[in-house]
Structure 1
Amino acid sequence: MNFTRITAAELGKLIKDPTKKSGTDYLVVDVRDSDYEGGHIPGALNVPSYEMRDRVDGLAKELSDVPILVFHCALSQVRGPKSARIYSEYVYNVIQSNNKSFENYAPKLREQQISVLTGGFSSWYNQFKNDPEMLEDIDHDLWS
């Protein structure tokens, strides 16, 4: 399994789509560490990148019903892509192994789309800094 890239504009359309719901139709996985505190994408799940390896088993089970996962960090150059890779490799290995503890999750995981937000939260902020519906807990001074 690999991951694709998604732009801030594309993700914005998904989030603004009234027929789509975070946690059901898609989920943004923000892998920033302490820099998460300065603001984030609405509905994002914060899983610091340093926790990804320890939490990937539980995340795969917990998120198996969500068809689209979008990973990101500040710039999506290191932490975001690395976390998406860890997750997608784990899922691939589970599917290949026919692991009994995943037999109820594997069919859904097989169909899951894994993406990385191009440009990370910085790109998101630049695109949506004037749209309060697209930012949560934002500290504009921090991002200006």
Structure 2
Amino acid sequence: MASTQDGQPDAPWHAAYPDPKSDVVFISREEILALINDSAHVAGKDYILVDLRRNDYHGGTIQGSINLPAQSLWPLIPTYYQLFKAAGVRKVIFYCGSSGGRGCRSGGWFGDYLTRQNDSNMQSLVLQGGIKGWTTAGKEYTDKMHEYNAAAWA
């Protein structure tokens, strides 16, 4: 963590935003793999995978993901919501490295926004175990990644 001139630690990036109120709803990698493999479900239409990594964005990303770094998500949630709504997206699935910090926070923020919009047709979900869990689950998972680099995960 960086420090200010007086030696005090800088606040984390998310301290500028409210804590999420919504409970985090996790989705398993098995459920996501089933969505990807089911031709009846289309990434970007029925569901969207949101990779929240910024500085640690390396080693590949899950097929069909868009990269929206968590650090820039909060002020743009209304815009993303409108885009996802217009596309008919029903599941917005967030993930980061382990989905313990950025993933949960972002999923909660988006869930809060859905509640304020009275939208019960769209879900805010978080990939349990994040991209690290995905990459360690075996070849059937890494085969569903763009630019997978095994050395980055070793």
| Same fold, TM-score > 0.5, yes or no | yes
Deviation beyond 3 Å, 4+ runs, structure 1: 128-133
Q: 2:97 aligns with which of 55, 70, 74?
A: 74
Deviations 1:77-109 (Å, cap 9, x if unpaired)? 0000100111111222233xxxxxxxxxxxxx3
> Contact (CA 8 Å) 1:3, 1:113: kept in 2 or not?
no
* Cα RMSD for the two superposed structures: 1.6
The count of residues paired between Structure 1 and Structure 2 equals 131
Matched, 1:112 2:133: no
Cα 1:119–1:71 change in 2 (3 A) is same
In the alignment, which residue of structure 1 is the partner of 2:151? 141
Gap runs ≥5 in structure 1:
96-108
Deviations 1:19-77 (Å, cap 9, x if unpaired)? 11100111111111122232100010111010111211100101112001111110010
Moved more, 86-95 or 67-76: 86-95
> Contact (CA 8 Å) 1:66, 1:112: kept in 2 or not?
yes
Rg comparison, structure with higher value: 2
Write the distance in 1 (CA, Å) between the matches of 2:152 and 2:58: 10
Percent identical among aligned pairs is 27
In the alignment, which residue of structure 2 is the partner of 1:126? 136
Gap runs ≥5 in structure 2:
1-21
TM-score, normalised via structure 2 length: 0.78
Cα 1:131–1:80 change in 2 (3 A) is closer
Matched, 1:15 2:36: yes
Question: As a proportion of its length, which structure holds more helix?
Answer: 1
Using CA pairs under 8 Å that are at least 6 residues apart, name the structure with larger relative contact order, 1 or 2.
Answer: 1
Q: 2:117 aligns with which of 77, 94, 102?
A: 94
> Contact (CA 8 Å) 1:3, 1:116: kept in 2 or not?
yes
Cα 1:58–1:17 change in 2 (3 A) is same
> Contact (CA 8 Å) 2:111, 2:123: kept in 1 or not?
no
Write the distance in 1 (CA, Å) between the matches of 2:113 and 2:52: 17
TM-score, normalised via structure 1 length: 0.83
Cα 1:60–1:67 change in 2 (3 A) is same
